[in-house]
Amino acid sequence: MEKIKMTTPLVEMDGDEMTRVIWKMIKDILLLPYLDLKTEYYDLGLVHRNETDDQVTVDSAYATKKYGVAVKCATITPNAARMTEYQLKEMWKSPNGTIRAILDGTVFRKPIIVKGIEPYVSNWKKPITIARHAYGDIYKNTELTVPAGATAELLITKADGSQERALIHEFKDAGIVQGVHNLDSSIRSFARACFNFALDQKEDIWFATKDTISKKYDHRFKDIFAEIYETEYQSKFEKAGIEYFYTLIDDAVARVIRSEGGFIWACKNYDGDVMSDMVATAFGSLGMMTSVLVSPEGTYEYEAAHGTVTRHYYKYLKGEITSTNSIATLFAWTGALRKRGELDGNTPLCSFADKLEQAAIQTIEDGIMTGDLYRLSTLPNKRSVDTETFLKEIALHLDALL
């Protein structure tokens, strides 16, 4: 069979530990034999980030801006223990944080559904995608502890020097106070990223805040979403036959549980943080959750939602057999290849990505899976295989489909 050609390169961001091992296996077993794979390679492994003073992370983000599509392996975010383990010059920042800050994106997380791994919520039939606003609120807060007898106020000093103040609380007892902010421009980008993604996926989008209690702050999110929807997206949504729906966060939570899935749930930063953990767990396994960062300019960076699976890596280094789930990392590759194909009008590339996903799902539905899924699967004929055998089994299914 002739290899499928690519015209524009993908930005390839390599990473750390077990996912770095899986990364190479996926390329060797499932991509290079079938594809004339074109990538611009950036090694975001911690060793190389340290060697380049983290410049490689910044360069990879700018390359994503240039080419439009990237695929990223999970990476270590260093802590004190990693400083010694890797003899780091500095405690480098989270690569995802650096990339997100440059691309100004929204993160969409979607579970991969397979027969035999039943969601804990029995009426969920289709995936629920969480769209998380990745700027501001409590993630950029300022906090103080307040002694008894103190008064806390909000004070804004405007560009012309005039001031506006509001009383927060007169503290009879000691307590705490917190200042948070967001930006209209960031909320607008978030809204556009959500609406574009809904059109891309042809799925309804829900958005919810606590605007009944937070009449200025949360209400601003609601108003900006409504304004952008009405002026820029309503007619496109009607043409696509999809819906934008706003409700109170309490109501959204209840409806999500009663729903059958198949929509995008846009969340403010904190709601998205905690709800994505809930949705991922309720659908089954972290190894089955993909993630894509979409920027307002329309660049896409695909990755797995899980980390570098350190515990498995140390077993691997000792020569022990591992059974690490490569599905989310594989779907990061297929997502990126399909998007590259769409942008380049390369139909064979899109169809290869579709078939590779189909082969992966069929493998699991035929009962061949990694240990994490084996523990959850309700299939009668299930069997647990090691990391590499699993990928080779997918290749057999892929050959049959091609």
Residues that bind Mg ion (CB under 5 A): 273, 277
Cβ-Cβ contacts under 8 Å for 337 (sequence gap 6 or more): 10, 35, 349, 350, 352, 353
Cβ-Cβ contacts under 8 Å for 339 (sequence gap 6 or more): 68, 69, 300, 302
Residue type, 90: E
The tokens for 102 are: 């440059």
Cβ-Cβ contacts under 8 Å for 162 (sequence gap 6 or more): none
With CB cut-offs between 5 and 8 Å by kind, which of ligand NAP, Mg ion, none does residue 100 bind?
A: none
CB of 234 to ligand NAP, least distance (A): 35
d(CA 245, CA 204): 8
Nearer to ligand NAP, 220 or 392 (CB): 392
Return the residue of 57, 129, 324, 346 that touches ligand NAP, per CB under 6 A. 324
CB of 109 to Mg ion, least distance (A): 10
387 binds ligand NAP (CB under 6 A): no
Only one of the segments 52-60, 146-154, 259-267, 301-309 lies at the binding site for ligand NAP (rule: CB under 6 A); that segment is: 301-309
Return the residue of 50, 52, 77, 358 that touches ligand NAP, per CB under 6 A. 77
d(CA 262, CA 260): 7
Which of the residues 247 through 286 are near ligand NAP (CB under 6 A)? 286
Burial of residue 397 (CB within 10 Å: 0-12, 13-18, 19+) is: buried
57 binds ligand NAP (CB under 6 A): no
Only one of the segments 74-82, 190-198, 246-254, 345-353 lies at the binding site for ligand NAP (rule: CB under 6 A); that segment is: 74-82
Cβ-Cβ contacts under 8 Å for 327 (sequence gap 6 or more): 112, 287, 288, 360, 364
CB 103 within 8 A of CB 134: no
Nearer to ligand NAP, 242 or 327 (CB): 327
307 binds ligand NAP (CB under 6 A): yes
The dihedrals phi and psi of 8, each to the nearest 5 degrees, come to: -105, 140
Binding mask 357-386 for ligand NAP (x = CB under 6 A): ---------------x--------------
96 binds ligand NAP (CB under 6 A): yes
Nearer to Mg ion, 129 or 299 (CB): 129
CB of 109 to ligand NAP, least distance (A): 11
- The residue among 220, 225, 201, 224 whose CA lies nearest residue 210 is 220
With CB cut-offs between 5 and 8 Å by kind, which of ligand NAP, Mg ion, none does residue 68 bind?
A: none
CB-facing half-sphere around the CA of 147: CA atoms within 13 A: 1
Only one of the segments 121-129, 198-206, 305-313, 346-354 lies at the binding site for ligand NAP (rule: CB under 6 A); that segment is: 305-313
Residues at the interface with ligand NAP (CB under 6 A): 74-77, 96, 286-287, 303, 306-311, 324-325, 372
